[in-house]
Amino acid sequence: MENNIINNKIKLSKNAFTVLQKRYFKKNCKGKIIENPESLFYRVAKTVASADKIYNSNADIKCLTNEFYVIMASLDFLPNSPTLMNAGSTLQQLSACFVLPIDDSINSIFETLKNTAIIHKSGGGTGFSFSKLRPNQDIVKTTLGVSSGPVSFMQVFNAATEAIKQGGRRRGANMGILRVDHPDILEFIVCKDKNNSLNNFNISVAITNEFMNAVEKNEFYNLYNPRNGKIFNKLNAKEVFDKIVNQAWKNGEPGIIFIDTINNKNPIHNIALVESTNPCGEQPLLPYESCNLGSINLGHFVKNGEIDWIRLEKIIRISVHFLDNVIDVNDYPIKEIEKVTRSNRKIGLGVMGWADLLLHLGIPYGSEKSLILAKKTMQFIQVKSHEFSEELATIRGAFPNFKKSIYSNGKPIRNATTTTIAPTGTIGIIASASSGIEPLFAIVYKRLNCLDGNEEMYEINPIFAKIAKEKEFYSQELIAKIARQGSISEFKEIPNEIREVFITSHDITFLEHVKMQAAFQEFTDNAVSKTINFPNSATNEDVKRAYVLSYKIGCKGITVYRDGSREKQVLNIDNKEKRNKRLNESKPRTRPIKTQGFTFLMRTGCGKMYVTVNEDNRGMCEVFTQLGKSGGCTSSQAEAISRLISLALRSGVDQKEIINQLKGIRCPSPMLVSGGVILSCADAVAKALEFYNNEKTLFLNNKNNLSQYHKKHFKSEGNIDLLGACPQCPECGEMLVFTEGCIFCHGCSYSKCS
């Protein structure tokens, strides 16, 4: 080594070391490994740091190399696989993601095919939109023949990919996209109906806003011939949507991307429109654009039971510097790619170890607390990455297309995008981190085919193992049982507070999966790679609900997978009975001994109602109501409503669905209050739940503001007017009468005016 950077051995798991040996370590001409983890990270750090000389001839490359080495050797940050493999080697291609254009001509198709082969050989993945190709059986004037359509050319690309093994280390991966308004959309939807078809492609339908509106209204929508832009045909949108849903339910494909949502948030949309993404869908790119990615290991940033924001900011800054340097030291496989990439300088800083972070903090994945923390964490990463990109711009200049971007009226920024959530499959193994923002797949599981072979790798979650040993319930017998089951939700020998936190992907409802993706997407420049897991018993309707929800709450795309719907899957648990457990038939979770929450005073036509909303560590779990004296019919109905709500909440029913069912129910005695009208007791409960949901962050972060909150939403009685008659006394249950301009009870002398 050229200096004393490498003093300590990097702590790697056995599986991590195996992956490095198989894929990442340099080998000599005889195939013998000539690297170790320390020298690998040093090679990468030194190469990437050298870019600083471009901007400052006096730059301290040695110091910067040390900075870059430390964040990788500590496994706090890792770049995408091509950078780890190729930086400092004869093959200096460092980007993971590419999108290539395909125009409607044989020359364009096969020029793109040639470029695809070059990229795959260098270790990159490619995305394409086949939407510009004329449909099957359409006329070809030059030959007086007919076109074979997009799907047939996808088969050609698939075959070429099969023949190339990326740099001897990674197999080719493609994303194939077709717009939903292409005439061949029905053929495309089922093109991967058989599991052995187009194995080197992920496929997604590019969904437009026009199409989603037509689905909602059950209307027909237009198909357009890309050859001339004319209307080719019309299809019923709901029927097409159902076909997409049914096929995804069957084997996970096609996925969908919301192409209009993507382009509405494209920072350089006036230069070119996004047509496709990379193979895993997290990186929308312009034609001939590439992007290099890296991920921060969030599980390493917990200190004294809280996120260490100061250290996280430091790693964000170094990571942005690292990724921007990669653009400059990269050897691009095609000149057009180098030109477009350098014009926009997109980078994609993301995260891994999100599930690990939640485990360290004792927060269940999918709970309200986890969603709030997801937004807070990703917003922090996005803001800080933008800030440092702006600092880089003052030294190195903004990206060349800056003046044509949405940033043009603000501070110059070095990179058109800075954040992406990637899947982090193999680098997650190297870092011993949970993958991307995914929940745990299982507490103990076996991993298949992760090294392009049939090897099996068995893993137990290290955080669970540590806690189990500390709390003295660890045993080999227990681990064997968990390995068969995957989830620990039904293991009574494990303390309840542990079972509530160590939940797995199939303990989580699909609604919680989608909401987590949306929480991260809100503060991510590019897109989010996430799988929405379903049990084997999930229905088509479940998949449809996930698709619609993801569109409505701002996701840029969605990929679903129903357990067991393919012959092979990367992660497996042994117990097949687990697959047959229906998600929506789960038993209500156990109420913990202690809950916390708030009580709202709601003024109703039946009197003052006190609504208490409590939560456990997974979110809202119960509701209590108190209305007048016990024993009255109205009081008993209010109690029944609150009991049913509590049961639904602990069974995983979406809070917004509950609110929607109750909100707006009318009784003969509506009440005008400062915030609007309370239409009934049920409406009052719904509005209390809504208040609690809307102000959740305020409650959790600053309880001192509660008094101000109550003043805002619940004014004094002087601001309340009586609108109608009340049929029943809230105090004793007797019928009320309207007399002398007021409501009065003869049973107990209750009066609304006294």
Query: pLDDT tens-digit profile of 255-272?
Result: 999 999 999 999 998 899
Asked if residue 439 has a cis previous peptide bond (ω within 30° of 0), the answer is no
Residues in CB range of 130: below 8 A, 6 or more apart? 102, 150, 151, 153, 154, 176, 177, 178, 182, 188
Task: For the domain covering 97-277, report its CATH number.
Answer: 3.20.70.20
Q: Which of 588, 599, 590, 595 is nearest to 615 (CA)?
A: 595
Domain(s) of CATH 3.20.70.20: residues in the chain: 1-91+297-418+430-441+507-568, 97-277
For residue 108, which amino acid is it? S
Interior/surface letters 179-208, b for 16+ CB within 10 angstroms, e for the rest = bbbbbbbebbbbbbeeeeebebbbbbbbbb
User: Is the model's pTM score more than 0.85?
Assistant: no
Residue 282 falls in the annotated catalytic set: yes
Averaged pLDDT, 574-583: 44
SS3 62: helix
Indicate the pLDDT class of residue 6, thresholds 50, 70 and 90. Answer: very low
Indicate the pLDDT class of residue 384, thresholds 50, 70 and 90. Answer: very high
Strand-pair partners of 206: 179, 257
Q: Which of 97, 191, 280, 606 is catalytic?
A: 280
Residue 67 falls in the annotated catalytic set: no
Indicate the pLDDT class of residue 467, thresholds 50, 70 and 90. Answer: very high
Mode of pairing for the β-strands spanning 139-140 and 145-146: antiparallel
Calpha distance 107→105 (Å, rounded): 5
pLDDT at 20: 95
Indicate the pLDDT class of residue 325, thresholds 50, 70 and 90. Answer: very high
- Please check the confidence at residue 213 and state whether its pLDDT lies above 60: yes
Which of 482-486, 526-530, 692-696, 739-743 reaches the highest mean pLDDT? 526-530
Q: May I ask the CATH architecture of the domain 1-91+297-418+430-441+507-568? A: Alpha-Beta Barrel (3.20)
Q: Which of 86, 174, 200, 278 is catalytic?
A: 278
pLDDT at 735: 54
Indicate the pLDDT class of residue 629, thresholds 50, 70 and 90. Answer: low
- Please check the confidence at residue 584 and state whether its pLDDT lies above 60: no
SS3 635: helix
Residue 726 falls in the annotated catalytic set: no
Question: Tokens representing 216?
Answer: 């909602």
Indicate the pLDDT class of residue 61, thresholds 50, 70 and 90. Answer: very high
- Please check the confidence at residue 102 and state whether its pLDDT lies above 50: yes
Calpha distance 498→489 (Å, rounded): 9
Calpha distance 626→637 (Å, rounded): 11
Averaged pLDDT, 520-531: 97
Indicate the pLDDT class of residue 324, thresholds 50, 70 and 90. Answer: very high
Report which of residues 437 and 606 the model is more confident about: 437
pLDDT at 113: 96
pLDDT at 581: 44
Q: Which of 176, 197, 175, 205 is nearest to 567 (CA)?
A: 197
- Please check the confidence at residue 305 and state whether its pLDDT lies above 50: yes
Interior/surface letters 97-128, b for 16+ CB within 10 angstroms, e for the rest = bbbbbbebeeeebeebbebbbebbbbbbbbbb
> Alpha carbon of 633 to those of 477, 625, 630: distances in Å?
54, 14, 9
